[in-house]
Structures are given as structure tokens and as C-alpha cells.
Homo-oligomer: A and B are copies of this chain.
Amino acid sequence: MKLHGYYRSSASFRVRIALNLKGIEYETIPHHLRKGEQRAPDYLKLNPQGFVPVLEDDGELLLQSMAIIEYLDEAYPFPPLLPGHPADRARVRAIAQMVSCDIHPIDNLRVLRYLRHELGHDEATVQRWYNHWIAEGFAALETFLAGSDQTGRFCHGETPTLADVCLVPQVVNSQNFKLDLEPYPTIRRIHEACLGYAAFEDALPKNQPDAE
């Protein structure tokens, strides 16, 4: 299996965690986003979006981190990253999407670039933007997690799921612009529990072969 990614990409980080949790060996093929390597013609043939990650598995070309992780969970079912009951699966997916749809895309590199270069904003404004969307998203997620008896050691129960796989990279990401995590004790607790496991720790940006 080959994972096209970038050490600092949150979406690649998610897939690395999932692969590690499943115990799947993979080869890392780094594409340096800040140097624009994801826009090379050969890479655009793999993914016309020019985004990482892309996973190659047995002739299949897989795009979009959450779709890749659901694929891994279907093709390599043990250990499962989603619970069994439809409503529980929906809860896990909803938490994953609170991060992956409602926080991460608005703070993506290409959006920050547009703010800087097309709209001419300074770094302080970009930092305020960045932290605004994480803080708004984390406040709602904290209320959601803290108010539910389905929250356990992890976002859902006592084993890691797709929800934790999406949450941890967002928390690591939030440290880039030094967001204060004090108002989110449940998120912090789950994040720390996750980092106690090699599957999460080994997937950290700093532990990747292309880390600078």
C-alpha cells in the first residue's frame, strides 16, 4: 500500500493513524505542499484536486481522507473504527465531520493563502481567522462530548474510532497558532489518551520521513 501525503497535512495524518490502528504496513510517498509538488502534472493524474492524501491499494486509487478511512474499515475490518449500530455509527461520523467539514476546510493552507495573497490580510488577521473557526468548532464539540454518556475514554466508548482519528490531527493543528485549549477539557483528555497509543504517536507530523 502506498500513501501519498505530506507530514504536516492533517488529512494525511488521519489516514496514517487509521493505517497504524489497523496494523497495515505502507510506503510513504511525500509531496511537499508548500513547494507546490501536489500540482505536478503526474500527481494531478492521480488526483485532479491536487490534494493529499491519496492511497494506492492493490490497483485501487482512493481519494479524500474520510472516504479512505471508511474504505480501510470495510476492506480491513479489524480492529473496527466504527461501532456496529447505525445510530452509534452516525454519532462517530458526525463527530468526525464536525472536525473534517466544519473546522478543517476553512483553515486549510489554500484558504489561508487566499486571505494573505488575494485579500492582502496580515498574519495577525490570518491567525485570528484560524483560531476563530477552531475555537467555535471545539466549543460545540466540547459541549457535545461532555454532555453525552456515550463519550468514554475516547470520543465514542473505550476504543478509538474515526472520530478520534479526525480529532487528534485538528488538536495538533491548533497548536500551530497556539490556540488556548484550556476551555476544552474533554477534548484535551481524549487527545492525551490517544497520544498514549503508538498508532497515534507514530502518525504525528514530526515522526514522518519527510518532516523538516
- Report A's interface with B, CB cutoff 8 A: 48-51, 60, 62-64, 66-68, 70-71, 74-75, 86-87, 89-91, 93-94, 96-98, 100-102, 104-106, 111, 114, 118-119, 121, 125, 129, 132, 137, 139-141, 143-144, 147
Q: Name the residue on B nearest A58 (C-beta).
A: B87
Contacting residue for A48 out of B50, B74, B93, B140, CB 8 A: B140
Tell me the minimal C-beta distance from A117 to chain B in angstroms. Answer: 12
Q: Name the residue on B nearest A62 (C-beta).
A: B90
Inter-chain contact B48/A67, CB cutoff 8 Å: no
Q: Name the residue on B nearest A71 (C-beta).
A: B90
User: Nearest 7 CB-CB pairs, A to B?
Assistant: A67-B93, A48-B143, A71-B90, A64-B94, A74-B86, A64-B97, A49-B140
Tell me the minimal C-beta distance from A139 to chain B in angstroms. Answer: 8
Tell me the minimal C-beta distance from A72 to chain B in angstroms. Answer: 9
Inter-chain contact B98/A49, CB cutoff 8 Å: yes
Tell me the minimal C-beta distance from A31 to chain B in angstroms. Answer: 16
Question: Apart from A106-B106, A119-B121, what are 13 other A-B pairs with CB-CB below 8 Å?
Answer: A48-B143, A49-B137, A51-B102, A62-B90, A64-B90, A64-B93, A64-B94, A67-B91, A67-B96, A70-B93, A74-B86, A100-B101, A101-B101
Inter-chain CA distance A84–B96, complex, in Å, is: 23
Inter-chain contact A101/B64, CB cutoff 8 Å: yes
Contacting residue for A90 out of B70, B97, B100, CB 8 A: B70
Residues of chain B within 8 A (CB-CB) of A106 are 105-106, 111
Given contacts A60-B87, A86-B75, A140-B48, contact A67 B97 (CB under 8 A): yes
Inter-chain contact A105/B94, CB cutoff 8 Å: no
Residues of chain B within 8 A (CB-CB) of A68 are 90
Inter-chain contact B62/A87, CB cutoff 8 Å: yes
